[in-house]
Amino acid sequence: GKNSFIGCNTIIESNVKIGENCVIGSFVLIRNSLIYNNVSIQDGVKIGIKGFGFIPIQGKNIRTPHIGKVILEENVEIGANCTIDRGKIDFTYIGENSMIDNLVHIAHNVYIDGNACIAAQSGISGSVSIGKNLISGGQSGYAGHLNIGDNVIVAAKSGVTKNIKDNSKVAGFPAINIYDW
């Protein structure tokens, strides 16, 4: 798109569309992605990479195909050295106005509704669905296939192993109500 900037040594492969006014840093790899307007992607980010998925069959691990996309809505910021896996069949989605700090991994089929703030060194396992306005402290981890409600706050170094209802504040491992913790 118009007025977008792409840094040096960045690779943009086929099956990618980039909107207007985007800033993409150096040493970035983007494939299988739809990036809307006003997105900022810092140095060293990998987007649209095949996720971790396998089927154990007769003592062997057989890789499952990943043929989906990554969708980054408007005004998303991705910090340095993050990895965002493409969807297995459908897509991995990061909603508008979301801010992802450095060194965050977002696995395949994750859905982040929007306006999220996810601090450094966090990891979100595959097929997690996150509502609007998540605030997630640094080094938080999310088990796969969870539903996280709207307006949730997850304290730093928390391990989220169960679904979280709207308007909750959790901490610890396993993450529980912050006041009980």
> DSSP characters for 126-149?
TT-EEEET-EE-TT-EE-SS-EE-
Instruction: Give catalytic residue positions.
Output: 108
Within a 10 A sphere around the Cβ of 76, how many other Cβ atoms?
A: 25
Q: Are 177 and 162 in contact (CB under 8 A)?
A: no
The pLDDT of residue 53 is above 90 = no
Structure tokens at 177: 């109500």
Within a 10 A sphere around the Cβ of 114, how many other Cβ atoms?
A: 20
Distance of CA 146 to the CA centre of its chain: 14
Count of all residues that appear for the chain in the document: 181
Confidence of residue 25 (pLDDT cuts 50, 70, 90): very high
Confidence of residue 127 (pLDDT cuts 50, 70, 90): very high
The pLDDT of residue 54 is above 90 = no
Confidence of residue 13 (pLDDT cuts 50, 70, 90): very high
pLDDT in tens, 141-152: 999 999 999 999
Q: What is the pLDDT at residue 55? A: 86
Structure tokens at 46: 């990998």
Structure tokens at 86: 């493409």
Q: Is the pTM of this model over 0.85?
A: yes
The pLDDT of residue 45 is above 90 = yes
Q: What is the pLDDT at residue 64? A: 87
Q: What is the pLDDT at residue 150? A: 98
Q: What is the pLDDT at residue 65? A: 86
Q: What is the mean pLDDT of residues 69-96?
A: 97
Distance of CA 154 to the CA centre of its chain: 16
Angstrom distance (rounded) from CA 173 to CA 177: 11
Q: What is the mean pLDDT of residues 120-147?
A: 98
